[in-house]
Protein backbone atom coordinates (compact mmCIF):
# COMPACT_ATOMS: atom_id res chain seq x y z
CA UNK A 1 0.00 0.00 0.00
CA UNK A 2 1.53 3.29 -1.02
CA UNK A 3 0.81 6.06 1.41
CA UNK A 4 -1.70 6.06 4.19
CA UNK A 5 -3.72 9.14 4.60
CA UNK A 6 -5.24 10.96 7.51
CA UNK A 7 -8.73 10.58 6.05
CA UNK A 8 -8.52 6.78 6.10
CA UNK A 9 -7.43 6.98 9.70
CA UNK A 10 -10.46 9.06 10.62
CA UNK A 11 -12.63 6.28 9.27
CA UNK A 12 -11.02 3.72 11.56
CA UNK A 13 -11.49 6.00 14.53
CA UNK A 14 -15.14 6.44 13.73
CA UNK A 15 -15.74 2.79 12.94
CA UNK A 16 -15.97 1.52 16.51
CA UNK A 17 -16.29 2.82 19.98
CA UNK A 18 -18.24 2.13 23.12
CA UNK A 19 -21.49 4.05 22.77
CA UNK A 20 -23.10 5.66 25.76
CA UNK A 21 -25.95 8.01 26.47
CA UNK A 22 -24.91 11.66 26.55
CA UNK A 23 -21.82 11.16 24.42
CA UNK A 24 -21.61 12.12 20.73
CA UNK A 25 -18.39 11.66 18.88
CA UNK A 26 -15.93 11.29 17.39
CA UNK A 27 -16.55 12.56 13.89
CA UNK A 28 -16.23 16.30 13.59
CA UNK A 29 -14.37 19.15 15.24
CA UNK A 30 -15.52 18.32 18.76
CA UNK A 31 -17.08 15.53 20.75
CA UNK A 32 -20.27 16.50 22.52
CA UNK A 33 -20.51 15.35 26.12
CA UNK A 34 -23.38 15.60 28.58
CA UNK A 35 -22.17 14.63 32.05
CA UNK A 36 -24.63 12.76 34.26
CA UNK A 37 -26.30 15.03 36.81
CA UNK A 38 -24.77 15.33 40.24
CA UNK A 39 -21.40 13.87 39.29
CA UNK A 40 -18.10 15.69 39.19
CA UNK A 41 -15.67 15.14 36.35
CA UNK A 42 -12.06 14.17 36.95
CA UNK A 43 -9.66 14.92 34.14
CA UNK A 44 -6.16 13.64 33.55
CA UNK A 45 -3.66 13.38 30.71
CA UNK A 46 -0.67 11.11 30.16
CA UNK A 47 1.92 10.35 27.51
CA UNK A 48 3.78 7.37 26.05
CA UNK A 49 6.93 8.30 24.16
CA UNK A 50 9.26 6.12 22.09
CA UNK A 51 12.55 5.56 23.87
CA UNK A 52 11.25 6.95 27.16
CA UNK A 53 8.23 4.90 28.22
CA UNK A 54 8.64 2.09 25.71
CA UNK A 55 11.34 0.75 23.41
CA UNK A 56 11.29 2.54 20.07
CA UNK A 57 10.42 -0.72 18.31
CA UNK A 58 7.64 -1.76 20.70
CA UNK A 59 4.59 -3.16 18.93
CA UNK A 60 1.62 -0.88 18.15
CA UNK A 61 -0.41 -2.99 20.55
CA UNK A 62 2.10 -2.43 23.36
CA UNK A 63 1.96 1.34 22.74
CA UNK A 64 -1.83 1.41 22.76
CA UNK A 65 -2.26 -0.69 25.87
CA UNK A 66 0.33 1.10 27.96
CA UNK A 67 -1.03 4.50 26.93
CA UNK A 68 -4.59 3.79 27.99
CA UNK A 69 -3.69 1.92 31.17
CA UNK A 70 -1.24 4.57 32.40
CA UNK A 71 -3.91 7.21 31.93
CA UNK A 72 -6.68 5.25 33.61
CA UNK A 73 -4.35 4.66 36.57
CA UNK A 74 -4.63 8.40 37.32
CA UNK A 75 -8.40 7.99 37.55
CA UNK A 76 -7.94 5.00 39.86
CA UNK A 77 -5.85 7.26 42.09
CA UNK A 78 -8.87 9.46 42.75
CA UNK A 79 -11.36 6.59 42.88
CA UNK A 80 -13.11 7.71 39.68
CA UNK A 81 -14.91 5.62 37.06
CA UNK A 82 -13.65 6.16 33.47
CA UNK A 83 -16.20 8.08 31.40
CA UNK A 84 -14.45 9.11 28.15
CA UNK A 85 -10.99 9.07 26.62
CA UNK A 86 -9.47 10.92 23.69
CA UNK A 87 -5.96 10.58 22.30
CA UNK A 88 -3.31 12.04 20.02
CA UNK A 89 -0.91 10.18 17.77
CA UNK A 90 2.33 11.73 16.53
CA UNK A 91 3.79 9.10 14.19
CA UNK A 92 6.89 9.05 11.97
CA UNK A 93 6.44 8.88 8.19
CA UNK A 94 7.73 5.29 8.02
CA UNK A 95 4.78 3.91 9.94
CA UNK A 96 2.83 1.71 7.52
CA UNK A 97 -0.91 1.54 7.09
CA UNK A 98 -0.91 -1.86 8.79
CA UNK A 99 0.98 -0.55 11.78
CA UNK A 100 -1.23 2.51 12.21
CA UNK A 101 -4.34 0.39 11.89
CA UNK A 102 -2.99 -2.04 14.50
CA UNK A 103 -2.37 0.85 16.86
CA UNK A 104 -5.84 2.31 16.39
CA UNK A 105 -7.59 -1.02 16.70
CA UNK A 106 -5.60 -2.02 19.78
CA UNK A 107 -6.49 1.28 21.44
CA UNK A 108 -10.19 0.93 20.61
CA UNK A 109 -10.19 -2.67 21.82
CA UNK A 110 -8.43 -1.75 25.04
CA UNK A 111 -10.95 1.05 25.61
CA UNK A 112 -13.72 -1.46 25.08
CA UNK A 113 -12.11 -3.72 27.67
CA UNK A 114 -12.30 -0.87 30.18
CA UNK A 115 -15.79 0.03 28.93
CA UNK A 116 -14.88 3.61 28.07
CA UNK A 117 -15.82 5.39 24.81
CA UNK A 118 -13.07 6.93 22.68
CA UNK A 119 -14.60 10.30 21.84
CA UNK A 120 -11.88 11.91 19.78
CA UNK A 121 -8.33 12.05 18.59
CA UNK A 122 -5.81 13.74 16.40
CA UNK A 123 -3.14 12.17 14.24
CA UNK A 124 -0.12 14.01 12.90
CA UNK A 125 3.22 13.39 11.26
CA UNK A 126 6.21 13.53 13.58
CA UNK A 127 9.85 12.47 13.78
CA UNK A 128 9.17 9.83 16.40
CA UNK A 129 6.31 8.29 18.33
CA UNK A 130 4.58 10.47 20.91
CA UNK A 131 1.16 9.34 22.08
CA UNK A 132 -1.03 11.15 24.58
CA UNK A 133 -4.33 10.25 26.18
CA UNK A 134 -6.80 12.45 28.04
CA UNK A 135 -9.38 10.74 30.24
CA UNK A 136 -12.47 12.06 31.95
CA UNK A 137 -13.81 10.15 34.92
CA UNK A 138 -16.88 10.39 37.11
CA UNK A 139 -16.33 10.77 40.84
CA UNK A 140 -17.53 8.13 43.30
CA UNK A 141 -17.39 10.27 46.42
CA UNK A 142 -15.03 12.80 47.90
CA UNK A 143 -11.89 12.96 45.79
CA UNK A 144 -8.77 12.34 47.88
CA UNK A 145 -6.04 14.85 47.12
CA UNK A 146 -2.45 14.72 48.28
CA UNK A 147 -2.71 17.24 51.08
CA UNK A 148 -4.88 15.45 53.65
CA UNK A 149 -2.39 13.12 55.38
CA UNK A 150 -2.35 13.61 59.19
CA UNK A 151 0.08 12.54 61.89
CA UNK A 152 -0.83 9.03 63.04
CA UNK A 153 -2.35 8.00 59.70
CA UNK A 154 -1.42 4.67 58.14
CA UNK A 155 0.42 4.29 54.81
CA UNK A 156 -0.74 1.40 52.63
CA UNK A 157 -0.12 0.12 49.11
CA UNK A 158 -1.97 -2.24 46.80
CA UNK A 159 -0.25 -5.14 45.03
CA UNK A 160 3.51 -5.63 44.87
CA UNK A 161 6.33 -3.21 44.30
CA UNK A 162 9.58 -2.93 42.40
CA UNK A 163 9.74 -5.51 39.65
CA UNK A 164 7.33 -4.07 37.07
CA UNK A 165 10.15 -3.32 34.65
CA UNK A 166 12.05 -6.58 35.19
CA UNK A 167 8.96 -8.73 34.98
CA UNK A 168 7.54 -6.91 31.97
CA UNK A 169 4.46 -5.90 33.99
CA UNK A 170 5.19 -2.27 33.09
CA UNK A 171 4.05 -3.09 29.56
CA UNK A 172 0.60 -3.94 30.80
CA UNK A 173 -0.02 -1.96 33.98
CA UNK A 174 -3.22 -2.81 35.80
CA UNK A 175 -5.02 0.41 36.76
CA UNK A 176 -6.51 -0.21 40.21
CA UNK A 177 -9.90 1.22 39.26
CA UNK A 178 -12.03 -1.17 41.30
CA UNK A 179 -9.82 -0.73 44.35
CA UNK A 180 -9.61 3.07 44.02
CA UNK A 181 -13.37 3.30 43.80
CA UNK A 182 -13.89 0.95 46.75
CA UNK A 183 -11.49 2.98 48.88
CA UNK A 184 -13.20 6.28 48.07
CA UNK A 185 -16.67 4.82 48.59
CA UNK A 186 -15.89 3.06 51.87
CA UNK A 187 -12.74 4.29 53.59
CA UNK A 188 -12.40 8.06 52.95
CA UNK A 189 -8.67 8.18 52.10
CA UNK A 190 -6.95 11.26 53.55
CA UNK A 191 -4.66 11.15 50.50
CA UNK A 192 -4.15 8.81 47.58
CA UNK A 193 -2.09 8.58 44.39
CA UNK A 194 -0.78 6.00 41.96
CA UNK A 195 2.85 4.92 42.13
CA UNK A 196 4.34 5.71 38.76
CA UNK A 197 7.75 7.12 39.73
CA UNK A 198 8.54 4.90 42.73
CA UNK A 199 7.68 5.24 46.43
CA UNK A 200 10.85 7.28 47.11
CA UNK A 201 9.68 9.92 44.61
CA UNK A 202 5.90 9.68 44.99
CA UNK A 203 5.41 9.51 48.77
CA UNK A 204 7.31 12.81 49.33
CA UNK A 205 4.74 14.47 47.06
CA UNK A 206 2.04 13.60 49.59
CA UNK A 207 4.29 14.51 52.52
CA UNK A 208 5.10 17.91 51.07
CA UNK A 209 1.50 18.72 50.18
CA UNK A 210 0.31 17.58 53.62
CA UNK A 211 3.25 19.07 55.55
CA UNK A 212 3.99 15.84 57.41
CA UNK A 213 6.68 13.16 57.50
CA UNK A 214 6.51 9.37 57.24
CA UNK A 215 8.24 6.25 58.50
CA UNK A 216 8.27 3.30 56.11
CA UNK A 217 9.20 -0.18 57.33
CA UNK A 218 11.19 -1.80 54.51
CA UNK A 219 10.55 -5.34 55.72
CA UNK A 220 6.82 -4.67 55.41
CA UNK A 221 7.04 -3.78 51.70
CA UNK A 222 5.19 -6.21 49.43
CA UNK A 223 8.14 -7.09 47.22
CA UNK A 224 7.70 -8.09 43.59
CA UNK A 225 8.16 -11.83 42.99
CA UNK A 226 11.64 -11.43 41.51
CA UNK A 227 12.94 -9.45 44.50
CA UNK A 228 14.53 -10.65 47.76
CA UNK A 229 14.19 -9.04 51.18
CA UNK A 230 17.66 -7.51 51.09
CA UNK A 231 19.14 -4.10 50.34
CA UNK A 232 18.91 -4.56 46.56
CA UNK A 233 15.31 -5.72 46.82
CA UNK A 234 14.32 -2.79 49.03
CA UNK A 235 16.06 -0.31 46.70
CA UNK A 236 14.06 -1.66 43.76
CA UNK A 237 10.80 -1.64 45.70
CA UNK A 238 11.11 2.03 46.66
CA UNK A 239 13.09 3.31 43.68
CA UNK A 240 11.73 1.76 40.53
CA UNK A 241 8.83 3.38 38.77
CA UNK A 242 5.97 1.94 36.76
CA UNK A 243 4.27 -0.09 39.50
CA UNK A 244 0.96 1.75 39.04
CA UNK A 245 -0.17 0.50 42.44
CA UNK A 246 -2.15 2.76 44.76
CA UNK A 247 -0.44 4.58 47.60
CA UNK A 248 -3.10 5.18 50.24
CA UNK A 249 -3.20 7.23 53.43
CA UNK A 250 -5.97 6.20 55.82
CA UNK A 251 -6.90 6.94 59.41
CA UNK A 252 -5.92 4.06 61.74
CA UNK A 253 -9.55 2.93 62.06
CA UNK A 254 -10.25 3.01 58.32
CA UNK A 255 -6.92 1.26 57.65
CA UNK A 256 -7.94 -1.59 59.97
CA UNK A 257 -11.22 -2.00 58.12
CA UNK A 258 -9.66 -1.67 54.66
CA UNK A 259 -7.10 -4.38 55.46
CA UNK A 260 -10.01 -6.77 56.00
CA UNK A 261 -12.02 -5.66 52.93
CA UNK A 262 -12.81 -8.58 50.65
CA UNK A 263 -12.57 -6.58 47.42
CA UNK A 264 -9.31 -4.92 48.35
CA UNK A 265 -7.73 -8.15 49.58
CA UNK A 266 -8.05 -9.70 46.12
CA UNK A 267 -5.10 -7.62 44.90
CA UNK A 268 -3.61 -7.50 48.41
CA UNK A 269 -3.37 -4.33 50.46
CA UNK A 270 -0.40 -3.89 52.77
CA UNK A 271 0.38 -1.54 55.62
CA UNK A 272 3.90 -0.23 55.05
CA UNK A 273 4.25 2.67 57.45
CA UNK A 274 2.95 5.62 59.42
CA UNK A 275 2.57 9.36 58.99
CA UNK A 276 4.71 11.24 61.56
CA UNK A 277 5.47 14.83 62.46
CA UNK A 278 8.06 16.77 60.51
CA UNK A 279 8.70 16.68 56.80
CA UNK A 280 11.09 13.75 56.33
CA UNK A 281 10.61 10.36 54.75
CA UNK A 282 12.43 7.92 57.06
CA UNK A 283 13.22 4.36 56.05
CA UNK A 284 13.30 1.68 58.79
CA UNK A 285 14.55 -1.90 58.71
CA UNK A 286 13.02 -3.85 61.57
CA UNK A 287 12.37 -0.55 63.31
CA UNK A 288 15.90 0.83 62.91
CA UNK A 289 16.79 3.79 60.67
CA UNK A 290 18.21 2.75 57.30
CA UNK A 291 19.81 4.83 54.53
CA UNK A 292 18.46 4.28 51.04
CA UNK A 293 20.02 5.36 47.73
CA UNK A 294 16.91 5.11 45.59
CA UNK A 295 15.52 8.40 44.39
CA UNK A 296 12.76 7.27 42.07
CA UNK A 297 12.21 8.36 38.51
CA UNK A 298 12.20 11.96 37.33
CA UNK A 299 12.50 13.60 33.92
CA UNK A 300 15.33 16.06 33.61
CA UNK A 301 16.21 18.73 31.02
CA UNK A 302 18.99 21.20 30.21
Which residues within the stretch 116-145 sit at the binding site for its own copies (CB under 8 A)? 119-128, 130, 132, 134, 136-137, 139, 143, 145
Sign of CA dihedral 91, 87, 193, 233: negative
Q: Does 242 bind its own copies (CB under 8 A)?
A: no
Nearer to its own copies, 15 or 43 (CB): 43
In 3D, which of 4, 22, 2, 174 has the Cα closest to residue 89?
4
Nearer to its own copies, 73 or 236 (CB): 73
What does the per-residue mask of binding to its own copies show for 77-116, with x meaning CB under 8 A? xx-x---x-xxx-xxxxxxxx-xx----------------
In 3D, which of 118, 115, 112, 143 has the Cα closest to residue 133?
118
**Torsion, Cα of 280, 285, 289, 290 (10° steps):** -80
Task: Count Cβ atoms below 10 Å from residue 258 Cβ, excluding itself.
Answer: 24
Task: Count Cβ atoms below 10 Å from residue 231 Cβ, excluding itself.
Answer: 14
What does the per-residue mask of binding to its own copies show for 37-66, with x meaning CB under 8 A? x--xxxxxxxx-xxxxx-------------
- Which helix (H) or strand (E) element contains residue 146? none
Nearer to its own copies, 111 or 223 (CB): 111
Instruction: Using alpha carbons only, give the angle 144, 86, 7 rounded to the nearest 5 degrees.
Output: 175
Report the site for its own copies in 4-23 (rule: CB under 8 A): 4-7
Q: Does 146 bind its own copies (CB under 8 A)?
A: yes
Applying CB under 8 A, among 66, 68, 74, 187 the residue interacting with its own copies is 74
Please give the C-alpha separations between residue 274 and each of 47, 154, 179, 212, 252, in angstroms, as whole numbers: 32, 5, 21, 10, 9
What does the per-residue mask of binding to its own copies show for 153-182, with x meaning CB under 8 A? ------------------------------
Report the site for its own copies in 192-231 (rule: CB under 8 A): 193-194, 209
Applying CB under 8 A, among 18, 64, 72, 75 the residue interacting with its own copies is 75
Residue 81 phi/psi, 5° resolution? -100, 125
Minimum Å gap between C-beta 284 and its own copies is 25
Amino acid sequence: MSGYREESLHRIFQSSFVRRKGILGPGSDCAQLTPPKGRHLLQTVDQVIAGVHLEVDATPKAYARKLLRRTLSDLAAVGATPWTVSWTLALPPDWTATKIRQLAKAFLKEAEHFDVPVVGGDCSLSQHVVLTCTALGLDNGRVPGRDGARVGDIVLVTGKLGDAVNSGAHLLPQPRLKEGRRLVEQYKPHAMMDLSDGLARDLPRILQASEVGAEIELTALPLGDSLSANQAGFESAVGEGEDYELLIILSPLQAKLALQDRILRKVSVTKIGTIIEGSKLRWLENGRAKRMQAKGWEHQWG
